[in-house]
Structure 1
Amino acid sequence: MIAFIALGSNMGDRNKYLEDAIDLINKRVGRVLKRSSILETKPYGYTEQDNFLNMAIKIDTELSPRDLLKKLLQIEAELERVRLITWGPRTIDLDIIYYGNEIIDEDDLKIPHIDLYNRDFVLKPIVEIDRDFIDPRKNKKVSELLEELNK
């Protein structure tokens, strides 16, 4: 299954955390097909923290959405992610943005990612790697969603 993962880091060696996460995803989750360039962005939500490096990857995985979430949480923990403040500082953040064309609405798993429509730092990298991908909830290309957000 094709999935899109958003990555972010704003603590320590941000580039290394992104690279280490991609390496672990490639080894344990699925083959990385494409990766976006890296954007430096201001914090979202909780703003009293350092800027983030953000990017996205497109992967091919055999894992179910639930198992994919489990593996990504394990990788975050291995890369010293600590959850103290909602939207707070983190070594690495790995979010499932899309999992094929599936729509999942469970308490702890929402695909497409529930807040992606408000986050240009998520949409820009996804548009960079697959501008014609159709969002299953809005039935629009991700490039159109980004245009709407930037209006």
Structure 2
Amino acid sequence: MRQVILIIGGNVGDRMALLSEAKSKLMFKIGQLKDKSAVYETQAWGGKSKGDYLNQILIFETDFEAEYILDIALKVEKELGRERDVKWGNRTMDIDILYFGEEIINKPNLIVPHPYISERRFVLVPLEEVLPDFVHPKFHLTNKELLRKCTDSCNVIKVQ
């Protein structure tokens, strides 16, 4: 069994219902949900979307490979109305693989650990909540240390 850490989130539609539906679909398709963060409301990151996001970290145990998890994530996004027309644009659901155990994966369609973890408070705040001492396999810093060093100034507010 491997541990896969995902972040799910969106800023369009009934955001809380979409988070719940995404979590249910992922539980059915990839493995046992071991832990989750609170839900956080965050400002849009990247400059192209309008409206605040709800985000949540999910930690699963799975027997599947990372590429399969990515395929499932993309299918769930699409099932929940995701349209990929603008990079960092509005979305009903976004699902990213943050970590896949301690593996480093560098393929054309998948980079793990996620390349922007250290730059995004909306990722690091909930990661620090559930995995403060997990060591980033490339940076050799814990999630807690990455959050302390992060220069992103976006508000990240716990809502549930």
TM-score in terms of structure 2 length: 0.91
Deviation at 1:127, TM superposition (A): 1.1
Match of 1:74 in 2: 75
Matches within 5 A, 1:1-151: 1-150=2-151
Q: Tell me, which stretches of 5 or more residues in structure 2 are unaligned?
A: 153-160
**1:73-104: CA deviation from partner (whole Å, max 9, x where unpaired):** 11111111111110000000000000000001
Could you say what the CA RMSD is over the residues aligned between the two structures, in angstroms? Answer: 1.2
Contact 1:4 1:126 in 2 (8 A): no
Deviation at 1:8, TM superposition (A): 1.0
Instruction: Please give the alpha-carbon distance, in whole angstroms, between the structure 1 residues aligned to 2:21 and 2:47.
Output: 25
> Between Structure 1 and Structure 2, how many residues are aligned?
151
Instruction: Please give the alpha-carbon distance, in whole angstroms, between the structure 2 residues aligned to 1:79 and 1:10.
Output: 12
**What percentage of aligned pairs have identical amino acids?**
32
- Give the partner amino acid of 2:55: N
TM-score in terms of structure 1 length: 0.96
Contact 2:5 2:57 in 1 (8 A): yes
- Give the partner amino acid of 2:142: K
Deviation at 1:116, TM superposition (A): 1.0
Deviation at 1:46, TM superposition (A): 2.5
Instruction: Please give the alpha-carbon distance, in whole angstroms, between the structure 1 residues aligned to 2:105 and 2:133.
Output: 21
Secondary structure of the structure 1 residue equivalent to 2:126: helix
- Give the partner amino acid of 1:81: R
**1:35-63: CA deviation from partner (whole Å, max 9, x where unpaired):** 11111111111244111011111110111
Deviation at 1:150, TM superposition (A): 4.9
- Give the partner amino acid of 1:126: L
Instruction: Please give the alpha-carbon distance, in whole angstroms, between the structure 2 residues aligned to 1:47 and 1:93.
Output: 14
Instruction: Please give the alpha-carbon distance, in whole angstroms, between the structure 1 residues aligned to 2:132 and 2:49.
Output: 32
- Give the partner amino acid of 2:133: D
Contact 2:49 2:88 in 1 (8 A): no
Instruction: Please give the alpha-carbon distance, in whole angstroms, between the structure 2 residues aligned to 1:122 and 1:101.
Output: 17
- Give the partner amino acid of 1:16: A
- Give the partner amino acid of 1:128: E
Instruction: Please give the alpha-carbon distance, in whole angstroms, between the structure 1 residues aligned to 2:122 and 2:128.
Output: 10
Instruction: Please give the alpha-carbon distance, in whole angstroms, between the structure 1 residues aligned to 2:138 and 2:120.
Output: 16
